[in-house]
Amino acid sequence: MKSTILAGALLAFATATGVHGQAIKLADVAELSGGGATVGTNWKNGIDLAIEEINAKGGVLGRKLEVTHADSQSNPGVARAQVQKALDAEPYVLLGPGYSGSVKVTAPLAAEAGITQIMGGEAAELTQAGNKYLFRTSFGQQSSMPKVAKYIHDEMKAKTVAVVWVNNDFGRGGRDVVVKELDRLGSKVVADLSTEAGQADFAADVGKIKAANPDAVFVYLNEEESARILKELKRQGVTAPLMGETTLIGQKVIELAGDAANGARGHVGLTTDAPVDLIKAFREKFSKKYNYVPDHNGLKGYLAVYMVKATTEKMGKVDPKAFADTLHGLTIKAADEPGILMDVTFDQNGDIDRQSFLVEVVEGKQVVKQVLPKVK
Amino acid sequence: MSNLFDLLVAGLATGAIYALVAVGFTLLWQTSQTINFAQGEFVMLPAFLMLAAMHAGAPFWLAIILGILLSMLLLGLAFKLLLVDPMMRHGVLPLAIATMALAIGIKEAVKQFFSAEASPFPSIVPTGDISLLGHAVSLQSIGVLVLAILAVFGLTTLLNRTSLGHQMQAAAQNPTVARIIGVPVERMILLTFLINAFLVALASLLITPIYLAKFSSGEVLGQAAFVAAIVGGFNQVRGAIAGGLLIGVLDNLAASYVSTQYRAAVPLIFLIVVILFRPQGLLGRAEERTV
């Protein structure tokens, strides 16, 4: 009898110790192949780097972080299946995807499961549907596009603008906001061109831009297509200034487009060229580990994990149900949590507020021209 | 109108690449009744072979030579000996399915060994414009067009004006009779595979600076070239050339004058119309073989 009690006590002790020492499981679903491979690969590498750092310093509340990566193939249908599979394994937090279309179809699944989803999508509508479990790692288009339109109107002094966008949720969302804002400011959209994801040949689209002869061109495509259209714009001798968002002036785009990227300007919520010491340190660590300079998606993946760390430490417990409530309205200061890189606040919709940057590509490098303050 | 001229030149340049790839479809079909559904991946792979050579330290010109030679070895010789010959015994359908599997295999292998991300690729044609009939035309378009035309011209000269070409045609049209009159049919068929491998390597060299080197880039090219080959006539080299140029131009004109949103549908609608009214293709022969 004594031995049975002793065995039971030992078992209980072992179980309790085991639970305490058990890893905190995160699930990542990202665009590891397909059109968004650049997005997903950077995002994944950022996540892995953050987890490695956090675990090396003892983890979160004494527990290690563990992540599983799944490939959405840049396809919303596959993303949905992968997210469902990931949720079935009951992760603490879901990370990704990066494409707005994939976030749109997966967010209801995470919300239904009561699991917080920290994602990279930028489509305005994502956080406007009342989903309490969805959080951004970057600006939504409702925050970034008005800044873009204002820059085109005020700084570029463009009376006429050509708008080129990719025909998916990301592109349509950005296009709708920027066209509305340009109209409000008094800049006329003289060409409104939709292109396809994965499109290889932009000769006809650029031909239309040339024919419209705008004062400025707003380019809102995914990274690879951005590089292709930049080359075609140069090839056809379009001299109007080019304005875009993060996807126009990212490192991968610069690498792919070469000289053609020079002169392109963009508003970026995050850039590894930001004049911020913590971001510079991140860039160095990332480049050392992966042998390339990350784009903003690397930063987003990294931040996502540090959002998990800061929120969990704020709660003082690992509680997936209380996670979203804690993150809403939370301000995380870089002084307290250096991994968050810049002071950041999350509002009740899961949208983010922090400094942002206006960047120009000069001789193959991003140069930050202006630092824009937090909105609130 | 100036826009139309630019569109025509750009369309012809892209179409010339389609033509190079489409010619490969017709060559293999004529000599071995093979439809190679990995033809798009055959265009994608040489660029990565060249990139691998450059990463290993080879200068661009040497990487091009190595890439072309390796392509001829892998996509010509090995493809014929290791896949087409063994599968041919089981009929055309198993062979076609095997080439589909090969396409997936090549794509996945490139993704695994290189990266799923696109890579830049240097251009053999300098960037910049030249003045042509009062228009600024990009050197890259002209260069691609000229090189592709030279390749096709060389091929048609070989086929129509040389003894070797006549032997190849004889082997394609009737292997039994060709054997009787002393044509080394097997060698001629192998030569066709090698020529196809050379053409796809050339197409890869010309198109990758524009499309970027990516494991999935063969999908678009393979599909466009397949449509071009059918439209032009699957059993005629000149049909494939015409089909390629037509699809390239049509795609650009459709994107510009119809809708960028439906550009992908226009060549397919054109394909359906051609098949309905001229199933053998615009320049194809109604009969499959003649003696």
Q: What is the pLDDT of residues B233-284, one digit of tens each?
A: 887 888 889 999 999 999 888 888 877 777 778 888 889 999 899 888 888 7
Residue type, A291: N
Chain B residue whose CA is closest to A212:
B3
How does residue A14 score in pLDDT terms, banded at 50, 70 and 90? Answer: very low
With a threshold of 0.80, does the pTM exceed it? no
pLDDT at B31: 81
Residue-wise DSSP of B202-241: HHHHHHHHHH-B-TTHHHHHHHHHHHHHHHH-TT-HHHHH
Nearest to B103 by CA among B48, B42, B24: B42
Residue A4 has φ and ψ, to the nearest 5°, of -65, -45
| Helical (H) or strand (E) element with B147 | helix B139-161
State how far residue B3 is from chain A, nearest Cα, in angstroms.
6
The rounded distance, in Å, linking the Cα atoms of A256 and A250 is 10
State how far residue A181 is from chain B, nearest Cα, in angstroms.
24
Record: contact B116-A231, CB cut-off 8 A: no
State how far residue B43 is from chain A, nearest Cα, in angstroms.
15
The rounded distance, in Å, linking the Cα atoms of A278 and A337 is 11
Q: How is residue B57 annotated by DSSP?
A: T
Mean pLDDT of chain A: 90
State how far residue B31 is from chain A, nearest Cα, in angstroms.
32
pLDDT at B201: 95
Burial class from Cβ neighbours inside 10 Å (0-12, 13-18, 19+) for residue A318 reads middle
- Overall size of chain A counted in residues: 376
Of A33, A195, A259, the CB nearest to B111: A33
How does residue B205 score in pLDDT terms, banded at 50, 70 and 90? Answer: very high
Task: Give residue ranges of A with CB < 8 Å to any B CB.
Answer: 32-34, 37-38, 41, 167, 193-196, 198, 200-201, 203-205, 207-208, 210-211, 224, 227-228, 231, 234-237, 252, 255-259
Sheet strands side by side (includes A93-95): A65-71, A24-30, A93-95, A116-119, A134-136
Chain pair A-B, CB pairs under 8 angstroms: 95
Mean pLDDT across B27-39 = 87
Whether the pLDDT of residue A108 is over 90: the answer is yes
Contacts 24+ apart (CB under 8 A), B6-9: B6/A203, B6/A207, B6/A210, B6/A236, B6/B135, B6/B137, B7/A203, B7/A204, B7/A207, B7/B249, B7/B252, B7/B253, B7/B256, B8/B249, B8/B252, B9/B132, B9/B135, B9/B137, B9/B138, B9/B141, B9/B142, B9/B145
Mean pLDDT across B111-126 = 87
State how far residue A205 is from chain B, nearest Cα, in angstroms.
7
Q: What torsion, rounded to 10 degrees, do the Cα atoms B39, B44, B45, B49 define?
A: 150
Those residues with Cβ within 8 angstroms of residue B269's Cβ, 6 or more apart along the chain or in another chain: none
Interface of B with A in 245-284 (CB under 8 A): 251-256, 260-261, 263-264
Whether the pLDDT of residue A10 is over 70: the answer is no
Q: Hey, is B62 helix, strand or coil?
A: helix
Residue bearing tokens 């996509």? B75
Residue bearing tokens 């290791």? B82
The answer to whether B85 faces chain A, any CB pair under 8 Å, is: no
Of B3, B117, B136, the CB nearest to A37: B117
A201: chain B residues, CB-CB within 8 Å: 10, 14, 210, 251-252, 255
Q: Hey, is B36 helix, strand or coil?
A: coil
A37: chain B residues, CB-CB within 8 Å: 115-118
Mean pLDDT across B158-168 = 90
Q: Which of the residues B204, B215, B260 would you substitute to probe the A interface, choosing the one with the greatest number of A C-beta atoms within 10 Å?
A: B260
Of B116, B211, B256, the CB nearest to A204: B256
Whether the CA torsion A276, A282, A288, A294 is positive or negative: it is negative
pLDDT digit string (tens) for A176-232?
A: 999 999 999 999 999 999 998 888 888 889 988 988 999 999 999 988 999 999 998
Of B141, B212, B264, the CB nearest to A196: B264
- Overall size of chain B counted in residues: 291
State how far residue B10 is from chain A, nearest Cα, in angstroms.
7
The rounded distance, in Å, linking the Cα atoms of A355 and B99 is 53
Burial letters B233-268, b for 16+ CB under 10 A, else e: bbbbbbbbbbbbbbbbbbbbbbbbeeebeebbebbe
The rounded distance, in Å, linking the Cα atoms of B234 and B232 is 7
Mean pLDDT across A265-280 = 90
Mean pLDDT of chain B: 88
The token pair at A315 is 């709660």
Whether the pLDDT of residue B128 is over 80: the answer is no
The token pair at B181 is 């009159």
State how far residue B57 is from chain A, nearest Cα, in angstroms.
18
Residue bearing tokens 């650029």? A206
Mean pLDDT across A141-155 = 88
Of A34, A41, A201, the CB nearest to B14: A201
pLDDT at A104: 94
Mean pLDDT across B195-213 = 91
* Cα–Cα distance list, B57 to B51, B52, B62, B125 (Å): 10, 9, 10, 21
pLDDT at A17: 45
Whether the pLDDT of residue A265 is over 80: the answer is yes
Residue type, B176: T
Lowest mean pLDDT among A67-71, B104-108, B128-132, B278-282: B128-132
The rounded distance, in Å, linking the Cα atoms of A238 and A217 is 9
Please state the ipTM of this predicted complex: 0.75
Chain A residue whose CA is closest to B217:
A200
Record: contact A255-B120, CB cut-off 8 A: yes
Residue A195 forms beta bridges with which residues?
Answer: A166
Sheet strands side by side (includes A188-195): A188-195, A160-166, A216-220, A242-244, A265-268, A356-362, A365-372
The rounded distance, in Å, linking the Cα atoms of A204 and B250 is 11
Of A205, A255, A257, the CB nearest to B255: A205
Interface of B with A in 112-151 (CB under 8 A): 115-120, 127, 129, 136, 138, 140-141
Of A33, A196, A211, the CB nearest to B116: A33
How does residue B141 score in pLDDT terms, banded at 50, 70 and 90? Answer: confident
